[in-house]
Structures are given as structure tokens and as C-alpha cells.
Amino acid sequence: MDTLEVWHEIKRKAKEKYRDVRNLLKDKIKLINIKNIVEHKQFRRITIISITFILSISSLVYYNKGFSQEINLNGENIGYVKKLDMVDEALELVELHIRQDHGDKAFFQSEITSQKVRGHKKDIIKTEELAENMKSLIEVYKPATILKVDGEEILILESESMVEALLEEAKSPYIMEEVEASIEVVDFYIKEDIEFEERDVLVKNILSLEEAKSILGINQEEDETYFASRDRAMGKVSRALGNRRRQENTSQALEEEDEENSEPVSLLNIIRVEKHTNIKEISFKEEEVKDSSLYKGQKKVKEKGKKGKKEVISELIYSNGKEISKEILDEVVIEEPVNKVTLIGTKSRPQPKPAPTYNGELGSSIVATARHYLGTPYRSGGSSPAGFDCSGFTSYVYKQYGVNLPRTTSGQLAYGGRISKSELKPGDLVFFTRHVGIYIGNGNMIHSPVPGKRVEITSIYNAYFKSRYKGATRPY
């Protein structure tokens, strides 16, 4: 091969080599460009994604700012808040208030739901307001004591000790602080069957002591205030215990009381059983015994009579201070009675003697002697100048003239001859109911009247003696 050909061959190979190198360089440059482009595209993509994410977050935040939480308690709306954490905070406030108001055992039932809503930006409230709204709707419960009377639920109080104290107060008016020696209290109790039941109840249905007293009729006053107070308390308890029948019966009873103006009726009957030991008198009987030594129509007490004694043991039962029964348990005779014995005359009376002829001289002398004792004091059973009773005076005067009169008024009436009032002369005897005197003329008599007085002259026609006149005799 000549030089030219060699040259051309070298030139051709050089061109091929140059072309290969150029192509290689092009390919290299192309690769570098492609890489740069790729890397640039990745950066741009990351940047776009980041921006998009930030924009999305910002949009989401901005979007959420337009929403709030609607809070419902037991199905009723109580307000709108931005964060649900406020609900827990409000519940804690409510629980704190309830414990302060009603004690640590108080609780409430609540069903709280929330719902995301748009708008209501102006309705959003604070935690304290949400708590107040909760308090206005919740129903607070706590353990309490229910009093049952004969199986019927009557009232609710906070504790068993309060119910026991209330029952003691119901009994207190009927406790005898000072018991007489003759009285023994053998039993004291409430007639009705009393039971206590512990149960969770609504706080609003727990009664105050005054309301409970009104229901039981403790310290009751018979006026409109009392009836209104008891009616309200009864209604409150009936609604709380669901006892509609008792509420109706109570209303009817109150209406009847108003109509009859009767005393308020207590739901409790406080029973007090007493044993009384008393000494009582035993009445004596009266006997009449015939006596032939006495004239017919005459009576004489032989035995005055004396009452006996016996010990009587009785059982008395009181309900709310009123006696409802009394039973005699035993009787023991301590002293037997002595009967009164009266003698009844059976002897026939003699025919009245005819009045003797009046002896004016003797009659005047008798009157003069009687006047001599004017001013002598009255003495029961007396028959001397130291003191006279009525028949003792007349017998003493007549004895000085030889006339022995019987000592008694009735005996003197039967002794002499009977005369009429128109036949009276000085010296005659005039008789009245359980009394006798000596007639002195002109309608007057001299006599010893009554205890505390002295021998005096009195008209037989005054109102007292006129109505008691029995007759007159001439005893000589």
C-alpha cells in the first residue's frame, strides 16, 4: 500500500475515531443534561408537594375555623364550644358544685353527645357557662332514707338518724315527764309498723324537717298555713314515690277536715299504756229496821253508816294523748263498808189529849221565868242557864213549875194537849220544823234559836217560821 493510501486510511480511521469520540462526547453531554433535567424535575416536584401540603394544611386549618362543637345533654342543647376538652372541664366544675351542695355521695346521670357543626361562631360559650347550663338540666341523686308506715312509703329524709329523730319528736308530746306514784307507764310505742329503706333518690324530692313534720302532724296548728304546708309536702312525696293513690286519699282527707273544721289528723298513733292504782270508796247500803218503841212516823238513826275502801288497779290506753280504752284489772277490798241502820217506829200514837183549861196565872209565870233567861247563849244539847238549845230551854223553864217535859222537840210535841193557833195563850208551846219555843202573846215567842245566837223574842209570823209552823200544845 502506497503512502497516499496509508494516509487516506489513517485519515479515514482518524475521522471514524473523531466521529466515535464526538458521538461519545455527545452521548456524555446528553447524559449530563438528562441528569440535570431529572434532578431539577425532582426538586421542583418536592417543592410543589411541600407547597401543596402547606397550602392544604393551611386550608384545612382555615376550613376548621368555620366549625364548632354542638353539645347536647340528655338530648337537649346546652351550648356550642370550640374544643371538646371544655366539656370535661365543665363536668368537673359541676361535680365540684354538687359535692359542695349535696355532699360527697351525691351524683348525677348524664348522657352527653357532641356534633360538629358549621357556623354558630357567636354562640360559642365559656366553660363556666357550659357548666351552669349543665346544672340547670341534670337531675342530682343521693342516698336517702324512706320512711314506711304500715308498708306505705310516707316521706324521704337525708338519713336514717334524721328519721329516727323525727319519730322521737313525734312521741315527745306524749311522754309523761312527771309520773304520779299511783301511775305506772308500762308501755310506750308507735302503733303503726315502721320501716326504713335506703335508696338513691332525686335530691329535690328529699323533704326538709318542717315538711316532714307537716306530713306526720308534729307541732301542728289548726290554721290555713298548716293545711297548705301539709298539702305541698304530701304532693312532693307522692310525686317522688309515685304514690298517686295516697295523694288522692290525702287530698280527700284534707277536704273533709276543712268541711268539718276538725283537728288535723296525725299519720302516727302514739300509744301509751298506763297502770293506775287508786283507792276508791265503797258506798254503804241503807237498812230500815222496825222498832216498836217508836211511834209510827218516827225515825231514828241507829247506825250512821260508813263508806268502805278498795284498791282498784286499772289499765288505761291513750292514743296521741286521748284515752281510748279503760279496763279494770283487779279490785282488793281494804276496808268493808258499814251499812246505815234507821229505826222505823211501829207504835201507835195516843189520841191527842184535850187542851186543859188555860191557867192564866201559871201561863204568865212561865213567860216571866222565860224572860229571865233572855240573852243566854245557844249551846247544842244545853239545858241549863250556862247555855240552851231550843228543847233544853223549854224543858228547863217548865220543870221549875213541876212539868217534866220530854227532852226532844218531837217528844214535847206529843206530850201536851194540842191547841189551834187561834187558841194560843201565853205559856203555851209552839212548834216548827225541828224547833220549839214558848208563846208569850201578840204573835211572839221566846226561844233559843241557832248556834251563834242567844235566847230572844221572835214573831211566829215572820217568813221563816210561818212556813215551818207545825202546831201548838198546852203541856199542864
Q: For 173-191, give the DSSP string.
A: GG--SS--TTEEEEEEEES
Superfamily assignment of 271-346 in CATH? Resuscitation-promoting factor rpfb. (2.20.230.10)
Helix (H, G, I), strand (E, B) or coil at 298: coil
pLDDT of residue 180: 86
The pLDDT averaged over each successive group of 10 residues in the chain (476 residues) is 52 66 63 50 54 46 65 91 90 92 90 88 91 91 96 94 93 86 93 95 94 83 47 54 50 50 72 96 95 89 94 96 94 95 88 77 96 97 96 96 94 91 96 97 97 96 95 93
Residues 6+ apart with CB under 8 A from 470: 413, 431, 432, 433
pLDDT of residue 4: 46
pLDDT of residue 476: 83
Does domain 350-474 match CATH 3.40.50.720?
no
**Do 433 and 372 contact (CB within 8 A), yes or no?**
no
pLDDT of residue 353: 64
pLDDT of residue 376: 97
pLDDT of residue 295: 86
pLDDT of residue 37: 46
Name the one residue in this structure whose C-alpha cell is 370550640.
Answer: 82
The closest alpha carbon to 271, from 348, 174, 381, belongs to: 174
Q: Rounded CA gap, 367 and 440, in Å?
A: 6
Give whole-number Cα distances, 235 to 62, 170, 194, 200, 458, in Å.
56, 21, 21, 20, 84
**Do 378 and 451 contact (CB within 8 A), yes or no?**
yes
pLDDT of residue 59: 43
- Residues, the chain: 476
pLDDT of residue 286: 94
pLDDT of residue 236: 54
